[in-house]
Structure 1
């Protein structure tokens, strides 16, 4: 069983959010949330909120109430580029330079671990 959560138009560049996303990819939920909580990156707050949302989405699914949060892991997490807001800054001799305010889309898929027990 798996669930998805998407944060769109995060006002931070995709490159910076990917650094944090790579840190928690395919990790246990408890480990991921703990690592994000104590990370000093600005993007860690957004990634943590999105992971919590995905876990909540899984719990609200039909049949998801029996799932324990300890049995979940981050199956997939990826960051895409979103639109770029452009601002102009005055330069010398009547010129203007462009300031690009980049944003990103964050997608998290949380799944339940498959416990495979070997029979003797």
Structure 2
């Protein structure tokens, strides 16, 4: 039985992941997890997380304990590359590539272990007979919901005269009149002392 786990767009290059992958290929899952836990490399964390996910899938879907699993294969592929620029001397710039990678782990059961898949039988739910009283109550509630309460009329009194439709186009005239006179700034900071 094979269990596949795939993780995409890891923020590290496949070249950096390759030496870490060779550490866990063909080992028991528990040994591989212990190896990755104490590995001081960034790629080790990605591998550990994916491996633990695969073990959880095996336990949940097929009732397989982690002692019965072996890391059969680990595949590393190149993902999309982000091209960025870094500044250099004399106003120039050089490109650099932020590489990503795709990871696929294939777990396999030890030879001689059979998988017992449980078949869950769905029980039929018996429908309870609906009582006529309940139906009547729902009708009464629906009728009450349909009746809308009367809303009080809101007076249409205008608080600001300029907001009345007839004078609405004159709203901005106050600001224009203030600017024409020059405002406070014009009175305090004058270019020439003699101007008024």
TM-score by length of 1: 0.88
1:1-120 correspondence to structure 2 within 5 Å? 1-61=1-61, 64-65=62-63, 67-115=64-112
1:115 aligns to what SS in structure 2? coil
Over the aligned positions, Cα root-mean-square deviation in angstroms equals 1.4
Question: 1:20 deviation in Å?
Answer: 0.8
Task: Indicate if the aligned counterparts of 2:84 and 2:98 stay in contact, CA closer than 8 A.
Answer: yes
Task: Indicate if the aligned counterparts of 1:4 and 1:57 stay in contact, CA closer than 8 A.
Answer: no
Q: How many residues matched?
A: 113
Bigger share in strand: 1
**Equivalent-residue separation in structure 1 for 2:89 and 2:78 (angstroms):** 32
**Equivalent-residue separation in structure 1 for 2:68 and 2:37 (angstroms):** 20
Which gives a bigger RCO, structure 1 or 2 (Cα 8 Å, sep 6+)? 1
Question: 1:59 deviation in Å?
Answer: 2.0
Question: 1:93 deviation in Å?
Answer: 3.0
**Equivalent-residue separation in structure 2 for 1:57 and 1:71 (angstroms):** 13
**Equivalent-residue separation in structure 1 for 2:65 and 2:51 (angstroms):** 15
Moved over 3 A (4+): none
* Deviation by residue 1:13-56 (Cα, 9 ceiling, x = unmatched): 10111111111011000100000001111111100011111111
**Equivalent-residue separation in structure 1 for 2:42 and 2:85 (angstroms):** 25
Question: Which of structures 1 and 2 has the bigger CA Rg?
Answer: 2
TM-score by length of 2: 0.55
Task: Indicate if the aligned counterparts of 1:37 and 1:44 stay in contact, CA closer than 8 A.
Answer: yes
